[in-house]
Amino acid sequence: MALNQALSGINAAQSELNIISNNIANAGTVGFKGSTGQFAEVYAVTGLNLSSVTVGSGAELTGVAQQFSQGDLETTNGSLDMALSGNGFFVVNNGTGNQYTRDGAFHEDANGYVVTANGANLQVYPPTTAGGFNTSTLTNLQLNTAQSAATATSTITVSSNIPSGATVPTTTPFSPTDSTSYNDASTLTVYDSQGGAHSATIYYVKTGNNAWNANLYIDGNSAGTAAMTFNSAGALTTPANGNLSFTPVQPTNGASFPATMTVNVTNTTQFGSAYAPGTLNQNGFQAGVLDNVTIGTNGIVTAIYSNNQTTQLGQIAVANFANLQGLQQVGNNQWVATQSSGTAVLGTASVGQYGNIEQGQLETSNTSDTTAQLVSMIQAQQDYQANSQMLGTVNSLSQTLFQAVSR
């Protein structure tokens, strides 16, 4: 029996060394979770036959417990590098089903999808047309690498001051090529439906006390004239809603402007004797290419384009489980759910039981402290050596006994 006891001890110590060796081998693996061996004593007889003098038959490995403690977060500044600070797993799909990982070292593949090192797609809740996200379904996260579509200018907003002390121009009729036929002018850039840039100028012509005409020209073509009036305090009275309507000449390059272009002059005043252009803004923009991606702590992925437009691409799904020890490791830093773990409880980061997502960081292995692993290795090695010594001792005693019997 002693031979079997010593042999079982050697096997148990060898199993512990194998587990520790795997922990150390993955000390630099992103998101790796270490394991510890669980051992139990062995009896050669049933519980009914045990007595106060029964000696055990050795030890055996009964399980390998996974350690899901948080690893340290390391800054990488990679826009698609992510770490979960707190509970949860990223959800990825390899084409055959969902798997779960703490490894946030994602990258963009040739088709614009965000994937793991082994090509599994990161799963997100898709955006809805009404705003927010559809949390009833998951989809692959794809970065919109195409250009952000252009939008034609439909509204110009003017916040200017035209001088109350101005005089009515002596030259008539108004002509944009004759500066004596108008009082002041402001120029800005507007865009057509294809993102083409055009020069737009608003010419102000005083027509009487507190009365002005605004003339809009785009690329030298008249878009029309609209009247403005002010009260004795210099505040705009006409138009009442502050909107001047113009009809732009359509471009000849196949693009277009809206049929009506609105110039909002609500914040335009008539004070003093000096013209102040103030600010001129418009709502059109050129086409843009993907410039950057931001990921909030709540997992919302936002694409930022070169034309300063943004689009929400999805919200990263986060999973948790009733029994983490029931998860089955399948390699590549990924787990799958089992009957023991229970089904995945899906949610979003920064809510309830789920941790935050930190962009530009990665979670290091929780076995990166190799000192602790080396201490465990020394203990397992001593156990191995002690059982080997016991095996040698039992063998020597057996040989002595055999020699004595043979005499």
**Residues 387/6, Cβ–Cβ less than 8 Å:** yes
* CATH number for the segment(s) 155-282: 2.60.98.20
> Could you tell me the pTM of the whole model?
0.77
pLDDT in the model for residue 48: 63
Joined together, the tokens standing for residue 318 give 């986060």
User: What's the burial of 12, exposed, middle or buried (CB within 10 Å: 0-12/13-18/19+)?
Assistant: buried
pLDDT along the chain (407 residues), means of 10: 70 82 89 87 68 71 87 94 97 96 96 95 96 96 83 97 95 95 97 95 97 97 97 96 97 94 97 93 92 95 92 96 94 94 96 95 90 79 76 68 65
pLDDT in the model for residue 250: 95
Residue labelled with tokens 């023991």: 340
What is each CA distance from 70 to 33, 259, 313, 367, in whole angstroms?
Answer: 9, 59, 28, 10
pLDDT in the model for residue 286: 92
Helix (H, G, I), strand (E, B) or coil at 126: coil
Joined together, the tokens standing for residue 231 give 């009260």
**Residues 174/181, Cβ–Cβ less than 8 Å:** yes
pLDDT in the model for residue 57: 74
Helix (H, G, I), strand (E, B) or coil at 204: strand
Domain boundaries in the chain? Answer: 2-69+366-406, 73-147+289-363, 155-282
Following DSSP, what letter does each residue of 318-335 receive, concatenated?
EEE-S-GGG-EEEETTEE
**Residues 277/239, Cβ–Cβ less than 8 Å:** no
> Which secondary-structure segment (H or E) carries 10?
helix 2-25
